[in-house]
């Protein structure tokens, strides 16, 4: 598949995900899906616009990262550097910047690229770019899969976009979260979710565990077929009320669970050992023991 078609295919999937989940978000979707040629030896597609921030959400595929292979980029773009810096500051706890670039870090007359290729260890991590006329905040990723991209990148991009703009949305409805966290005060739940809840981190957790519940070993796809593909929930091993507000959640703090086990875990003590205890309960019940 040609690289511009790879980008268009990926952008369509990400846009569909954004449309299905953007309820209540200050987001204006782009309508054309036009592919633009860039000075970075590649293409870009605008996905949406944040009217209250003046920032655009875009996906690119190009050689800017300095690799022989094309790399995807998903993120926010604005001509006003202050807007991007403000955005980075507000989401720093959940989306820490691992690399900052300025005009001194890029080169090229006909094709613009990084002077030093982006290390493989920083693929998938957040990069901020501040230039004279425009600034960016997003992440790079190599295309994978037989068609030049995979669904993982599309999900990560959609999660990243929604997580970031979630910082600018007023979270007033906590009724659903009160059901999930029945033993935690409403103010604690709201504060925690505003600060910590990350779709991107949850996606990484579920990818790591193969979308299999660590308690009962259920996979939704095995039960519900295609409808259950790539579906599960992420559980905090430690109770919310005991978490230090100054310490962000890390991948190791989460575990993949099914909806039933998730509810049962929140009826327990709220410590990491709850998972092993609940797993033992499930095993005993399956063996016909009380």
Find the mean pLDDT for residues 268-275: 90
Q: Which ranges of the chain does DSSP label H, i.e. alpha helix?
A: 3-21, 81-91, 151-165, 175-180, 186-196, 199-208, 220-224, 259-265, 274-286
What band does 194 get if pLDDT is binned at 50, 70 and 90? very low
Please state, in angstroms and rounded to a whole number, the distance separating the CA atoms of residues 236 and 263. 12
Helix (H, G, I), strand (E, B) or coil at 4: helix
Strand, coil or helix: 233: strand
* Average pLDDT score over residue span 21-36: 76
* Of the candidate ranges 8-17, 140-149, 221-230, the one whose mean pLDDT is the lowest: 140-149
Give the lowest-confidence range in 24-28, 178-182, 236-240, 262-266.
178-182
- Which pLDDT score is estimated for 132? 87
Burial class (CB in 10 A: 0-12, 13-18, 19+), 165: buried
Distance CA 231, CA 203 (A): 9
Strand, helix or coil for residue 77: strand
Residue 170 gets which letter from DSSP?
-
Report the pLDDT value the prediction gives residue 37, as an integer from 0 to 100.
94
Pair 112, 174: CB distance under 8 Å? no
Contact predicate 257/233, CB 8 Å: yes
Nearest to 47 by CA among 89, 14, 79: 14
Residue with the two structure tokens 């690229």: 113
Residue 52 tokens, joined: 């209250």
Least confident window among 122-136, 155-169, 219-233: 155-169
Q: Which residues contact 164 (CB under 8 A, 6 or more apart)?
A: 76, 87, 91, 95
Q: Give me the percent of the chain exceeding a pLDDT of 70.
A: 81
User: Quick one: how many helices (H) and strands (E) in the chain?
Assistant: 9, 12
Average pLDDT over residues 250-272: 90
Are 149 and 12 in contact, with CB atoms under 8 Å apart? no
Asked whether residue 103 carries a pLDDT value surpassing 80, the answer given is: yes
Per-residue confidence band for 79, with pLDDT thresholds at 50, 70 and 90: very high
Q: Which of 183, 200, 199 is nearest to 242 (CA)?
A: 183
Question: Is pLDDT at 184 greater than 60 in this prediction?
Answer: no
What are the backbone dihedrals phi and psi of residue 16, each rounded to the nearest 5 degrees, phi first?
A: -60, -40
Task: Give the confidence band of 18 by pLDDT, cuts at 50, 70, 90.
Answer: confident
> Dihedral angle at the C-alpha atoms of 16, 71, 201, 131, nearest 10 degrees?
-100
- Joined together, the tokens standing for residue 212 give 């299999």
User: Is the predicted pLDDT of residue 63 greater than 70, yes or no?
Assistant: yes
Q: Give CA–CA dist 65/118, Å, rounded.
A: 5
What is the predicted pLDDT for the residue at 53? Answer: 75
pLDDT at residue 44, as a whole number? 95
Q: Please check the confidence at residue 255 and state whether its pLDDT lies above 50.
A: yes
What is the mean predicted confidence (pLDDT) over 50-62?
88
State pTM to two decimals.
0.67
Please give the residue that has the higher pLDDT: either 158 or 245: 158
């Amino acid at each position: 598949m040609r690289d511009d078609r790879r980008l268009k295919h990926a952008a369509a999937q990400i846009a569909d995900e954004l449309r299905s989940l953007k309820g209540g978000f200050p987001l204006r979707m782009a309508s054309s899906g036009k592919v633009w040629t860039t000075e970075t030896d590649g293409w870009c597609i605008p996905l949406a616009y944040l009217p209250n921030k003046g920032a655009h959400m875009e996906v690119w595929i190009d050689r800017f990262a300095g690799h022989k292979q094309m790399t995807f980029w998903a993120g926010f773009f604005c001509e006003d550097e202050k807007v991007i810096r403000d955005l980075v500051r507000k989401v720093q706890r959940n989306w820490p910047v691992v690399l900052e670039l300025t005009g001194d870090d890029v080169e090229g007359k006909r094709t613009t690229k990084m002077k030093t290729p982006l290390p493989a260890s920083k693929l998938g991590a957040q990069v901020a770019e501040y230039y004279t006329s425009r600034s960016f905040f997003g992440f790079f990723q190599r295309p994978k899969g037989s068609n030049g991209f995979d669904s993982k990148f599309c999900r990560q991009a959609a999660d990243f976009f929604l997580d970031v703009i979630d910082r600018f949305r007023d979270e007033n409805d906590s009724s659903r979260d009160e059901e999930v966290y029945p033993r935690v005060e409403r103010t604690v739940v709201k504060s925690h979710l505003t600060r910590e809840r990350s779709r991107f981190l949850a996606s990484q957790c579920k990818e790591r565990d193969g979308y299999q519940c660590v308690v009962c070993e259920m996979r939704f796809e095995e039960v519900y077929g295609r409808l259950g593909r790539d579906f599960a929930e992420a559980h905090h091993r430690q109770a919310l009320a005991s978490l230090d507000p100054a310490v962000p959640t890390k991948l190791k703090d989460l575990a993949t669970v099914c909806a039933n086990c998730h509810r049962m875990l929140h009826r327990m003590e709220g410590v990491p050992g709850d998972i092993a205890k609940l797993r033992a309960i499930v095993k005993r019940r399956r063996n016909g023991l009380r």
